[in-house]
Amino acid sequence: MMDKLFILSLIGILMVSGVVAKMVYTDLDILEKLENFDIPEDDDDDTKLFDLPSFTSRSSGKNLVNVDTFGAAGDGVSDDTQAFVSAWNKACGMPKSVLLVPQGRTYLVNATKFNGPCETKLVIQIDGKIVAPDEPSNWDPKFQRIWLEFSKLKGVVFQGNGVIDGSGSKWWAASCKKNKSNPCKSAPTALTIESSSGVKVTGLTIQNSQQMNFIIARSNSVRVSNVMVSSPGDSPNTDGIHITGSTNVVLQDCKIGTGDDCVSIVNASSNIKMKKIYCGPGHGISIGSLGNNNSTGIVTNVVLDTAFLKETTNGLRIKTYQGGSGYVQDVRFTNVQMQDVSNPILIDQFYCDNPTSCQNQTSAVKISQIMYRNITGTTKSEKAIKFACSDSVPCSHIVLNNVNLEGRDGQVEAYCNSAEGFG
């Protein structure tokens, strides 16, 4: 009912502005599509979550694999890497295992790849704290980009109230973003889920990562809920949750505070749903960057429904480089509240985060069918809405509905280059 009214009111607007009838039909088709596409949320029954008491009792039918049994010291000082690897091999190789990282203890673990495939119904129960060695110069160069990586998993649950802590402060200080005389090098990601499907992550806290906090890469059907990500607002490139090459990903009830994007969604990702997201501090919720170094970037079907952004440097952002190709299509941002956000609504097709400046080019990632609906709150920038679109590849079908952003002094403006749409 509400949707129909909304569409009707838009017809009204389009009629008044004298848009030809043919155009109304295509816009309405697009509107309906934007309104209706959805990604199912937490389906409660397919993977049952287990409480500690139920699986430790013998009757649960679970095989408990405790890292302590494999010699982990859990004192935060001794190297527990080998114990984790041994426990992983045991748990992975046995059906219905629960790999337990017990609470109240701290485990120092080096960069490690935990590879699947595993036997069925593996649960990784993290109740304690896992910390990374804090010295970049001792980091195994084989693992430049990862700390804890889990790959080739199918139907695995990560859960618990535990903490994954990247001990990143020395990495941040060594970043070229912090000091221009430092070389620009990549740093590890605290938690990576790679080439997996049917993965659930719930309850965990991921913090102080060396670089990105949590990456979901080349995976299908991943559900992340009640996860907290926390890194300082000035820690460089510490994206909260980064989604690349992945489909059917749901992020729900996540609280993210970090030094880069709270969520970033990049190439070859589609059917991404974010629901009830808190973001701040950070650089906002981003699609991109895409198209760097003349590359192809494709992101489709993204929904953000219900978010609160506080004091972030951007709000809802789509960022692409000049010279790229591919497209961003079918995105709906709805029910977002902002407080003291800079650049609340931003499409930037001139994005450049390279050490050398980026030239304007004729090719660009095409951006179309983007809806902003029920976006309210306060902006720190004069330009509450900025659509900086490429001259040769304009943005099309941008829909604004019920957007109400106020500046500190009440006055805000919108900037538009090469963008077409209605609202």
* Nearer of residues 110 and 202 to ligand NAG, judged by Cβ: 110
* Nearer of residues 24 and 416 to ligand NAG, judged by Cβ: 416
The distance of closest approach from Cβ of residue 57 to ligand NAG in the complex, given in angstroms and rounded to an integer, is 33
Q: Is 120 in the site for ligand NAG (CB under 6 A)?
A: no
Which stretches within 67-167 are classed as H helix? Answer: 81-92
* Nearer of residues 220 and 417 to ligand NAG, judged by Cβ: 417
| Integer angstrom CA distances of residue 122 from 62, 158, 189, 191, 330 | 9, 9, 23, 17, 35
Q: Residues with Cβ < 8 Å from 127, sequence gap 6 or more? A: 52, 100, 101, 102, 103, 104, 160, 161, 162
Kindly tell me which residue out of 38, 391, 413, 420 binds ligand NAG, with binding defined by CB under 6 A. 391
Q: Is 411 in the site for ligand NAG (CB under 6 A)?
A: no
Distance CA 177, CA 186 (A): 11
| Integer angstrom CA distances of residue 215 from 193, 243, 291, 308 | 6, 6, 19, 22
Catalytic residue among 105, 283, 317, 373: 283
Distance CA 345, CA 387 (A): 8
The distance of closest approach from Cβ of residue 67 to ligand NAG in the complex, given in angstroms and rounded to an integer, is 13
Lay out the site mask for ligand NAG across 259-288 (x = CB under 6 A, - = otherwise).
--------xx--------------------
Name residue 201's beta-bridge partners.
158, 224
Task: Tell me which H or E stretch contains 169.
Answer: helix 169-173
Distance CA 10, CA 82 (A): 62
CB 177 within 8 A of CB 221: no
Unique residue bearing structure tokens 């030239």 = 359
Q: Is 329 in the site for ligand NAG (CB under 6 A)?
A: no
Stretch that binds ligand NAG, among 3-11, 75-83, 189-197, 222-230 (CB under 6 A): 75-83
CB 270 within 8 A of CB 300: yes
283 is catalytic: yes
Unique residue bearing structure tokens 């859990």 = 74
Kindly tell me which residue out of 323, 344, 394, 421 binds ligand NAG, with binding defined by CB under 6 A. 323
Unique residue bearing structure tokens 């990862």 = 146
Q: Which of residues 170-189 bind ligand NAG (CB under 6 A)?
A: 179, 181
Distance CA 260, CA 383 (A): 21
Lay out the site mask for ligand NAG across 346-375 (x = CB under 6 A, - = otherwise).
----x---------xx------------x-
Q: Is 81 in the site for ligand NAG (CB under 6 A)?
A: yes
CB 239 within 8 A of CB 231: no
Check the CA dihedral 75-77-78-83 and report its sign. positive
Q: Is 245 in the site for ligand NAG (CB under 6 A)?
A: yes
Q: Is 339 in the site for ligand NAG (CB under 6 A)?
A: no
The distance of closest approach from Cβ of residue 56 to ligand NAG in the complex, given in angstroms and rounded to an integer, is 28
Q: Is 293 in the site for ligand NAG (CB under 6 A)?
A: yes
Stretch that binds ligand NAG, among 3-11, 158-166, 249-257, 330-338 (CB under 6 A): 330-338
Annotated active-site positions, please? 283
The site for ligand NAG (CB under 6 A) is made up of 79, 81-82, 110, 133, 138, 179, 181, 245, 267-268, 293-296, 306, 323, 335-337, 350, 360-361, 374, 391, 417
